[in-house]
Amino acid sequence: MARESESGLPIEPVYGPEALDGWDPAEKLGEPGSYPFTRGVYPSMYTGRPWTMRQYAGFGTAVESNARYKQLIANGTMGLSVAFDLPTQMGHDSDAPIAHGEVGKVGVAIDSIDDMRVLFDGIPLDKVSTSMTINAPGALLLLLYQLVGEEQGVPADKLTGTIQNDVLKEYIARGTYIFPPKPSLRLIADIFKYCRTEIPKWNTISISGYHMAEAGASPAQEIAFTLADGIEYVRTAVAAGMDVDDFAPRLSFFFVARTTILEEVAKFRAARRIWARVMKEEFGAKNPKSLMLRFHTQTAGVQLTAQQPEVNLVRVAVQGLAAVLGGTQSLHTNSFDEAIALPTDKSARLALRTQQVLAYETDVTATVDPFAGSYVVEKMTDDVEAAAVELMGRVEEMGGAVSAIERGFQKNEIERSAYRIAQETDSGERVVVGVNRYTIDVEEPYEPLRVDPAIEAQQAERLARLRSERDQAAVDAALAELKKAAEGTDNVLYPMKTALKARATVGEVCDALRGVWGTYVPTDAF
């Protein structure tokens, strides 16, 4: 009897050659590093070097996060990945009333260049690659990073990393939006233009399906809605006068890796193939790098359990293996205690060691695309591709990603999928070890890492000191220039950088833009 995949697609007990009837390997597969990139974006993949091992970290103050980054680097992390607290993600200062109770909780609090300077103290920015999970205020954090690099004497063309900068998925699944869609897309186009000139090695956007998956999206929904958002960004940049090959090579993507290894591998392979075809056929991209879907992967936090948390070590290892077999370019492995609280030093180190075992103690790096030609994986790749393309077609019929978002299409589809998964878990049809099967009566005690609530007062004191020390006239003049640019068509990043250098705060800069562009109110709030 056939089972169903996470996407609701059939998985047969046995696959044979008949699964690939009419299947042309040259068309579907190609060679690794060549169109349609089913087998990976680089010819040698991990046989030359392993993926970039990133660990997502950030909590409390910049001082505490800086210490964690230095520990991770000492333990072998190859790239940093910064988590920001909710006030920073929403463009509010730590002393704003709306920030009360959230300062430093789910990430590090960054209010100004003073905090960013501390965050990267002693970390040479020309030697590390830094990914920042920041969306609506992504431009601000990028510019603060550039300013700190300048203070270190690092030219902007030596900076490497990524800002997530994917606001469309915020309207769909996550909620840390600030501005309405139209000015948000304009800001993203400004970032593309700015980085092309000023920070050419920077990945200007990480188009994210991860958060959709965390909200309940199936694998097919995850890649369909993520790629639809990517198409919207490309159209926005082209409409702003950019040539596709001038910015497309710096686009990157961000996906989840679940415990369902076979479908996850198929998902990653299908996503590469769809994106290559869209970039070639719809946008006429000529540069092979414009056709490559390069992506970061994070293991599935939503699948981690507070019950028997040590079992999460096994889940994370399986999820990480799925990402590697699927050809990810970089990977973050969650810590086993993340369903309970912020990771401890020990659990963060174990998460990194998981990647290192995969890279250096298994043979998955010995050959490129080990599943190529597998009856089941190739059939599942075709099936996931077909399901994703069908969903993308429905988005197009509505006028594209923004129009579909305004009609609530993606959100409703994801909620239906999440409800199905919840029903299956509640009924026991979907087994979750330690939750609805193989439970224990008494959980072993576990002492989580907790954020000191005094951090909020400390950040408020830092802000008060900053405002008393800075040249307020220079700040006011820079914010006025920023508003002027936002009202017109000039690139807002240049006056924004001037304001941040003058020690304007994240909240003040975002408030200046709110005053011109307004804020987004979801349609279901009316």
Give dist(CA 195, CA 189) in Å, integer.
10
Among 403, 434, 451, the domain-final residue is 403
Angle between helices 311-325 and 345-360 (to 10 degrees): 40
Does 399 share its domain with 478?
no
Q: Do 492 and 365 lie in a common domain?
A: no
Query: Per the domain annotation, does 412 fall within a domain?
Result: no
Tell me the residue range of the domain where 48 lies.
3-403
Number of structural domains in the chain: 2
376, 403, 430: which is the final residue of a domain? Answer: 403
CATH number of the structural domain spanning residue 131: 3.20.20.240
Residues 347 and 223 in one domain: yes
Q: Are residues 39 and 156 in the same domain?
A: yes
- Assigned domain for 426 exists: no
Residues linked to residue 95 through DSSP beta bridges, in sequence order: none
Q: Please report the beta strands in 63-153, taking only residues with DSSP state E, as ranges in sequence order.
A: 79-83, 129-133
Phi, psi (degrees; rounded to nearest 5) at 53:
-95, 105
Q: CA 127, CA 78: separation in Å to the nearest integer? A: 10
Separation between Cα atoms, residue 334 and residue 346, nearest integer Å: 12
Residues 381 and 503 reside in one and the same domain: no
Whether residue 242 lies inside any domain: the answer is yes
Domain termination residue (choose one: 403, 428, 448):
403
**What is the reported pLDDT for 236?**
96
Does 387 share its domain with 481?
A: no
Measured CA angle at 514 (ends 59, 516), to 5 deg: 155
Helix orientation angle between 181-198 and 506-517, rounded to the nearest 10 degrees: 130
**Residue 423 located in a structural domain:** no
Q: Is residue 255 within 8 Å of residue 267, measured between CB atoms?
A: yes
Q: Is residue 61 part of a domain?
A: yes
Q: pLDDT 10s per residue in the chain (526 long)?
A: 578 999 999 999 999 999 988 888 878 888 999 999 999 999 999 999 999 998 877 778 899 999 989 988 888 887 888 999 999 999 999 999 999 999 998 899 999 999 999 999 999 999 999 999 999 999 999 999 999 999 999 999 999 999 999 999 999 998 999 999 999 999 999 999 999 999 999 999 999 999 999 999 999 999 999 999 999 999 999 999 999 999 999 999 999 999 999 999 999 999 999 999 999 999 999 999 999 999 999 999 999 999 999 999 999 999 999 999 999 999 999 999 989 887 888 998 999 999 999 999 999 999 999 999 999 999 999 999 999 999 999 999 999 999 999 999 999 999 999 999 999 999 999 999 999 999 998 887 777 767 788 999 999 999 999 999 999 999 999 999 999 999 999 999 999 999 999 999 999 999 999 999 999 988 754 3
State how far the Cα of 227 lies from the Cα of 233, in Å rounded to an integer.
Answer: 10
Q: Which helix (H) or strand (E) holds 274?
A: helix 261-281
Q: What is the pLDDT of residue 250?
A: 93
Q: In the prediction, which pLDDT does 8 show? A: 93
